[in-house]
Amino acid sequence: MGKTQAWVERYGGEAAVSAAQAAQDAEIVVSCVGTDDDLEAVTIGRDGAFRTLRAGSLFIDHTTVSARIARQLAVEADSRGLHFVDAPVSGGQSGAEAGKLSVMCGGTEPAVEAAELVMQAYAARIVHCGPAGAGQTTKMVNQICIAGVLEGLSEGLRFAQAAGLDVGKVHEAVSGGAAQSWQMDNRWQSMSEGQFDFGFAIEWMRKDLGLALDEARSIGATLPVTALVDQYYAEVVAMGGSRQDTSALVRRLRKP
């Protein structure tokens, strides 16, 4: 309840002791928790929101979870006359505060259309990716791509340092061409300075990569680079970096 009370004190509103109580008179509920188990607890658990939401209400979930539970909750919601949208996001805390998140949605057309009216308040891009679970599998693609980019960026940075190059000049030279990426533009300098307190924690990235690897096994896809980077992150965790942001991947490469 500590975070709940702090929110009420800063922004107003009312605190509730459970998701069921919070959803009692709501037409729209938005959630963002941690894991499949957390999401199950706040939806269909003993004190979950699905138990008190009225038929016709909308539940939007921004948690990054498995596609399996997203599909399960869509079925559960439908059986209760509710609308459910799995809508994981990309952009982090800064994106949310600036209203520039990218949202990947799975669900029915009417449910996603209704959800867009709410999400426009904090998102710059909202894409309906397909039926229930499609938002989650699209988020897996997002994390797969980030993992590969960060490993390449880490190796490139350490190579530049070993070669005795001015890393600022290197960034200026290569960021205007095909090597450019959001990670390069926003993390190159902090990585070179050994600063890793700028966003999404490695422990959460490993959770997300685990979801992607599990899904890949179930659909027959192969993710060799993703699996390798996941193990590299395990090395950084062993170095005490579980709460550092994902760019701390560079720590496992010796600095010249």
Residue 3 designated active-site: no
The one catalytic residue in 3, 100, 139, 207 is 139
Q: Which amino acid is at 67?
A: A
Active-site residues, by number, are 139
